[in-house]
Amino acid sequence: MIRRLVLCAATTSAVLLATGGLASAHIDPDPVEAQAGSRLTVGFTVEHGCEGSPTVQLDMRLPEGVADPVTEPADGWDGSVEIVDGETIVTFAGGPLADDVEGTFSVTMTLPPTPDATIHFPFVQRCEVGEIRWIQIPSEPGDELDEPAPAMTLTGPVASVPPTAPPTTPVTEPATTEPATTEAATTEPATTDTAVAPSTSEPVPVSAGVDDGADSRTGTIMFIASVTVILGIGAFVVFRSRQARGRVSNDD
């Protein structure tokens, strides 16, 4: 009986220790503290599955104020970022990640510019069977939670990154457009020159037509005058011949 009681007590202790170990296996971001407004890569390490079932997907909601999130590559996993109901959701899908194997999933982001504040990253760990919802946020510091959301503390001063890239873009754009306008200006006079060329050749046939008409009118006048002279001479000859005939008849 004593041996049986000892064995039962040992088994119960082992179960309690194992259960306590799983419950204490919280997911903390790496790093847990960072400068407000800074841009860095934050890693989230999954230590176990869902009561023996392997992990196949992680859905994490980013805190308000986080900007420009980008998922980092993870072997066998696909990362994506989308907006759902006004909230930014980061998803890793793939695997599976065995229950007894750890896996780290990283996201590069710009942290909110709010020093002396704590931000949380609630997410749901989905397994082939079951899920764990790491979404609990403490109402007061020091609260003990079963499935707390990963938390990060932001420190001051607020980091600032000078926007060096944007000013270089407007400077290069005018330089590329100016040669195009000068080329168009140089090509336009060439088109006007070719349009003027036909007008210079037009007076030549017009003047030639005027000379031909004058020559034809002069020839016509000379022809009429010649015919008039010939007709006049003929009429004079006929008149003289009739006078001669009249004289002969009078003499007889």
CATH of the domain at 134: 2.60.40.2230
pLDDT at 160: 82
72-86, 128-142, 146-160, 164-178, range with the lowest pLDDT? 164-178
pLDDT surpasses 60 at 20: no
Residue 110 lies in a domain: yes
DSSP structure class, residue 50? B
Task: Specify if 221 maps to a domain.
Answer: no
- 239, part of any domain: no
Task: State how far the Cα of 246 lies from the Cα of 234, in Å rounded to an integer.
Answer: 19
Domain that holds residue 67: 25-155
Q: How many structural domains compose the chain? A: 1
Give the pLDDT band (50/70/90) at residue 53.
very high
Q: For residues 46 and 173, which has the higher predicted lDDT (pLDDT)? A: 46
pLDDT at 221: 66
pLDDT band of residue 200 (cuts 50, 70, 90) is: very low
Give the pTM: 0.56
- Say if 222 falls within a structural domain: no
Q: Has residue 219 been placed in a domain?
A: no
- Under a CB-based contact definition with an 8 Å cutoff, are residues 156 and 111 in contact? no
Question: Would residue 61 count as lying in a domain?
Answer: yes
Task: Please name which of 55, 66, 144, 39 lies closest in space to residue 94, comparing C-alpha atoms.
Answer: 55
Among the listed residues 84, 81, 86, the one whose alpha carbon sits nearest the alpha carbon of residue 70: 81
Joined tokens for residue 90: 């980061």
- For the residues 206-216, what does the mean pLDDT come to? 46
- Evaluate whether residue 225 is within a structural domain: no
CB count in 10 Å sphere of residue 207? 9
pLDDT in tens, 143-191: 889 999 999 999 999 998 654 444 444 444 444 444 444 443 344 444 4
In a domain, 233, yes or no: no
Higher-confidence residue of 233 and 242: namely: 233
28 — pLDDT class (breaks 50, 70, 90): confident
- Say yes or no to pLDDT of 213 above 60: no
> Which spans in the chain are helix H?
2-23, 165-201, 203-251
